[in-house]
Chain A
Amino acid sequence: MELLEPTREAFRLLFSGDAELWRIIFISLRVSLIAMLVVTPFAVVTGFFLATVPFPGRRPLVILIQGLLSSPTVVVGLLLYLLLSRSGPFGSWHLLFTQEAMIIGQVIIAFPVMVAFTLSAVQGADPRAHETALSLGAGTTRAALTTLLEVRFGVMASVFNAFGRVFSEIGCSLMVGGNILGLTRNIPTAIALETSKGEFAQGIALGIVLMSAALGVNYALAFLQGEGGLK
């Protein structure tokens, strides 16, 4: 297969400001970033709670969440499809084949990833951090935030992992988004479609963007992460 020509064409498409291509990129970033904004506070709080508050059934719950890390995105999409389809319990919300449905799907996919990583980071925190904060007069919330700040390297790793998973997932987006051009077509669904049509240039261009955006967002998050934890 000739790779040079489609790659050259891919760069031409990117730098010529091809509207269709950039619309796909915009939808991808919008959906994933909104999903991350929605899921992050809930997942971090849940992870912290599971790591620090003992209660009956905590262990099975942690195992369940860790098990959900490997749940196929297409299964999440299937379940969400059944819930949101016209005959499903939430059919009256008319969310199927919308960006909102894709956001919900990505929130569901990202949640266990973030919870599991936050849980692990907080469990690994030095217990003296929380005690020192309390002893210096911090309330429960401030002491919890201080502990999270101390393990920010691990917490940010949970954000990286979750973003990586949702930004590149195709199964759920395809099922509940429907791959509608200009509305729900994101980078992974577009790559699959273009490649199946033999349009390698657009597929390569989108692949380059997918990799660059993923790296770009990770660098931005790493900047927020600081040097905490690095020896």
Chain B
Amino acid sequence: MSGPLLQIDGLRKNFGSRRILDIEHLALNSGESNVVTGDNGCGKTTLLRIIAGLENAEITSYRFQGQPLSLEHFPPRLRHEIIYVHQHPYLFNTTIAANIGYGLKTRNLRKSERERLVNEAMEWAGVAHLIYVPPQKLSGGEKQRVALARAKVLNPKLFLLDEPTANLDAEARRHTIELIQQMCLDDNCVLIACHDYELINLPRMRRMILSDCRLAPQAPTAIRRQVV
């Protein structure tokens, strides 16, 4: 496929009279890892939510794999291609396996196939030993790993990860970064919103800064000054 996976032009978002985003152009490519950083409240989460079709915005053009799309009528098939993971992931009040298999169920996969993929994803995320633990009893790091497994098992074209290491202790953060590193190595496109210097500095990471409603490419040193 030629051209970017996702291309957005003329994106504007206001909350009341306050402008949050004013982005002229954003293109994300397959196999590319991207990180957006910026001050708290600068609109990183809003940007991810708009791309995921969870939030509306004024937009001149939204193209996915070259196809022009409307945010107001976000096509259901795109939900299978773009997965958004909340900063504090929500786990359904059921089993961990059912949580990870939820998206597969919406894709009408056979039960045996679903079980195989769920088991693989649980092994990948290192949560297989937690299979009988109710999701509400998991720690923040474990919840984050289950949420990453739930996203990865769907093999989407674009992962949107919102502050995946925020509020995690050192061990949980290390685990989560390892998983994200693996996601970045695959042929997926990953867009992460975060302040985590280690994540920002992952190899082959394309770095951007959201500041004054605008998105700009940044060198790692500039990000270090902004983040640290």
Contact = CB atoms under 8 A, between A and B. Distances in A.
Contacts of B103: 136-137
A135 interface: yes
A150 B150 contact: no
Interface string A195-231: 0000000000000000000000000000000001100
B79 A135 contact: yes
B106 A138 contact: yes
B16 interface: no
Nearest to A146: B92
Interface of A is mostly: helix
B133 interface: no
A139 B86 contact: no
B79 A128 contact: no
B54 A137 contact: no
A128 B76 contact: no
Contacts of B151: 136
- Looking at A132, A135, A228, the one whose CB has the most chain B CB atoms below 10 A away is A135
Given A128-B90, A129-B92, A228-B93, A135 B106 contact: no
Nearest to A129: B90
A62 interface: no
A126 B90 CA distance: 8
Given A131-B54, A146-B92, A228-B93, A137 B86 contact: no
A144 to B, nearest CB: 13
Contact of A137 (B88, B90, B106): B106
B106 A142 contact: yes
B190 to A, nearest CB: 15
A122 to B, nearest CB: 15
Contact of B92 (A135, A137, A142, A150): A150
B89 interface: yes
A139 B76 contact: yes
Contacts of B204: none
Contacts of B19: none
Interface in A111-133: 126, 128-129, 131-133
A198 to B, nearest CB: 53
Nearest to A135: B84
A65 interface: no
A129 B102 CA distance: 12
A134 interface: yes
Contacts of B54: 131, 134-135
A156 to B, nearest CB: 13
Contacts of B79: 134-138
B89 A132 contact: yes
B154 A136 contact: yes
A135 B150 CA distance: 11
Contacts of B88: 128
Given A131-B54, A142-B106, A137 B89 contact: no
Lowest 4 A-B CB distances belong to which pairs? A128-B90, A136-B103, A137-B106, A137-B79
Given A128-B90, A132-B89, A139-B76, 7 more contacts: A128-B89, A131-B54, A132-B86, A134-B53, A135-B79, A137-B106, A138-B106
28 contacts: A126-B90, A128-B86, A128-B88, A128-B89, A128-B90, A129-B90, A129-B92, A131-B54, A131-B84, A132-B86, A132-B89, A134-B53, A134-B79, A135-B79, A135-B83, A135-B84, A136-B102, A137-B76, A137-B80, A137-B106, A138-B79, A138-B106, A139-B76, A139-B106, A142-B106, A146-B102, A149-B92, A149-B93
